[in-house]
Structure 1
Amino acid sequence: MNQIRKIWPKIDLFSLRVRLTIGIAAVSALGLSSFAIWTSWKMQQMLIDGHKDKTAQIANRLPRDLQLYSQVMSPEAGLEKAIGDFKNTNTFVWIRNSENKIVIKSTNWNQLSDSIETELMSLTEMSNKPEIGKINHRYFVLCGRYLQIQGKTIGKLFVVQDVTYEQMMFLAMVQSLAIGSILTIIVISVAIAFYIKRALQPLLQLSQMTEVISAADLPEAKIYIEKAPTEVKELAQTFNMMLSRLSQSWEQERQFVSNVSHELRTPLTIVHGYLQSVLRRQNNLTPTQQEALETAASEAERTIRLLQDLLDLARADSGYLQFTMKTCVLNDLIVEVVSMAQKYSDRIIMIDLIAKSVEVRADYSRLQQVLLNLIDNAVKYSDADTAITIKLIQQNEEAIIQVCDHGYGIPLQHQSRIFERFYRVDEARTTSKGGCGLGLSIVKTIVESMGGGVTVRSKLGEGSTFTINLPASLNCS
């Protein structure tokens, strides 16, 4: 039972395989059932209807025989002669007169038990058309009609033929036919299921191949299936053409983002420089002018950072994001990053480092960028009176950096998507904080490019912890 429960959930009742199996099995069952019914009907005709015809012939012939016998002998002698002809057969004959008394009966009743004889003799009416009747687990063909001799009705003739053997054989054959049909349907259904599974295997391969294709695989992605039906091969070719178009579209989009970011960054940098220059000579500015210039400089700086992030992502997608890998001491790096962060923020940033030096092979400036992004994220989404903690630990051959805050937290349903580009948990709050939804995506891209990984653990109202895992160098001390 447990095994069935394990297998059953894996069966998709709406899959093409199940639908085809049920459909073909249903058609097979209908065809076999029709054949079984037709065969049973033919067997009924062969085994039973022949006895019905024989009984009807006896009922029709006996009056004629009596008519012939009565011409050469007395009616009573002719009646005994005609009835006596059935003494060695399984046909039982008797005649009832108008007073419902038995006038004469055949002499072969010793073949039947007394109970069956009594029950047959108790019958007073029978159909003119032969019919099957069951008496005490035995089967008989029953037929009755009025008997006339020389135009005079002498009673009612009853003709009964014992067909128990034939009927039992017929029922046994019908039962065997039914069992055989059911077993055949089961075998056919199983065979059909395996055949359909094998026939649909190319479609499963096609699904598995397309499932693992990512945006990075588009330029080289190619689907080819051997020993597949023509329709599946055509479908694979259609997929290949679609992947080619997607690759071209994706490449054009990346090139566009890269070009726009690069072209806009330079003039915006110049504009930002002029704004900063004007602000440094603020003695000639009114308070309103100074506020307007500060706002413009702040927005220009935010746009430059956005363009730089877009440019980094475009380069990473194209494989052109450059890394200068060298051995870095994380203890010193974290102290330096915290010192830089505190220059731009008045927040309390605590450092929790292990005593020994932890070395990793990474790009020093890119790792600085990652930590500054995480600290900036913690500053934006936590209250000003709460501290931010940077932890460094080493487990086995991994260096682990954690950036912890006691801020608003991230809902569980959003935690798996916060590293997606332009994804924002709270659109209104993110906009007010100046975020654009690219910082965490940059963090993930850089860390993974250096062979590491980044995860988040958060709880609403208690804060978030971002964890960076990097392979530690073997020569760490």
Structure 2
Amino acid sequence: MKSGGQRGASAGRRRRAFKLSIQLKLSAVLALLLLLTVLVMSELVLRGIERNQQQRTEAELARHSRTAEQYVRQNYYSADVPPEDEAFMAQRGQRLALYISTLIGLPTALYDATGREVGNSLQPQGSGAAADTLAYALKGYIAYETSGDSLVYFSPLRVDGRIVGVVRLQYSLKSAQDFLKAIRGLFRTAGVVVFAAGFAIGYLYFHRFASQIGRLRQASQQIRSGRFLREIPVRRRDELGDLGEDIYFMSGAIEAHIERQKQFIGNVSHEFKTPLTSIKAYVDLLDLYRDDPRLAAEAAESIGRETDRLYEMVEKVLRLSAMEKYDFEQHAERIDLKELLAELCGRMRGKAERYGLVLSTDLEAAECWADRESLAHIFINLIDNAIKYNVPQGAVTVSCRMERKEAVVRVTDTGIGIPEEAREKIFEPFYTVSKDRARSYGGTGLGLSLARGLVEKQGGTIAVSDAGAGGGTRFTVRLPAQPKR
């Protein structure tokens, strides 16, 4: 029994077995388009030639019929006493037909006003007349019909405005038909040549096109197998070139994301291991020295501190993961920053006093459009960092004001400061300027990374700079005053 993977592979091989390459498909499409163009063009040209031939034939026969009518009229008036129409046509019809045929070079027949044949340049039995067409001409209309390679043309003969008879001209269409046949044959030959040449040229032209698509496919397979690109697979100044660049940059982004994930997992494992190691060590000591009250108190304090650190770390890791993977629900509303910061500073003032610090505020009226819970998390984190990484008898100042169309909040401390080379890295997960100091104060290296993510979710920015000549650090948060459109 085949497994699902084996069945999938077999199905893939069957699909590949019946697959036509894009090179053949594009070549066939190009050849068919060229052939269609030739066919449409040939049809239009042939119709144009046929219409032109018809117009020329009609014009020529109309001219010949006027010549015949003029000659009949001249003979009619040449008699001393104009005879009756039927008598005139009966007496002179044969002679008139022969002369007109000689004059215009076409087989000619004459009919009187009753439709009776009175003259024919051919033998009397040589050509019959179509009764319906003749009757139409006797009513004063020009009429003609085709039969095989001949056209029979009927035109009324008028004398003094009355119809005295009909002239019939027989016109050969053989040369015109042979010409059309020859042109049609040329177009058929041209169609075959164009199809073959178009397919060959298209196949050669699309060979490079198809090979570059193959290179893009190989690049995608290489990325899928975990081998990332080191150069752009296709360089062209068209959509394929854009796709090649996109695949290259996508490869770099995937590689960087995987590296970040590896680093993140490594950092999580390391940071989790440190407090767990401490907890385990005290548990082991307590197991050995159960009756030592001093050790029990020290162990309880240390285990509690490390447990709080673990809890904080887990909470921040989960929040960071949720923020990266999901667009978690937020409730944006208009926030009075002066009121919110005054409340948060009141909650943090007790902690500042325990550290021997002064927490002061410089709050002006300022509003922004954001999620209240996210803002509280951002500013508590910044204020908490300003307290933890300060110096004895130091100070923390929180200010807010409106600048143009933004609300600006600044958290300034008089602490140890952040080296300039580390200012871009402090927003990365688990990065801390001083590992020892971070452990001493329970820092996880996740707070600023989470704060930046939350600020950006609100459509704002966060930046770090020196606090001034006296040292310390200033974090500046800018938030939009109006909701994003």
With structure 2 as the length reference, what TM-score do the two structures score? Answer: 0.45
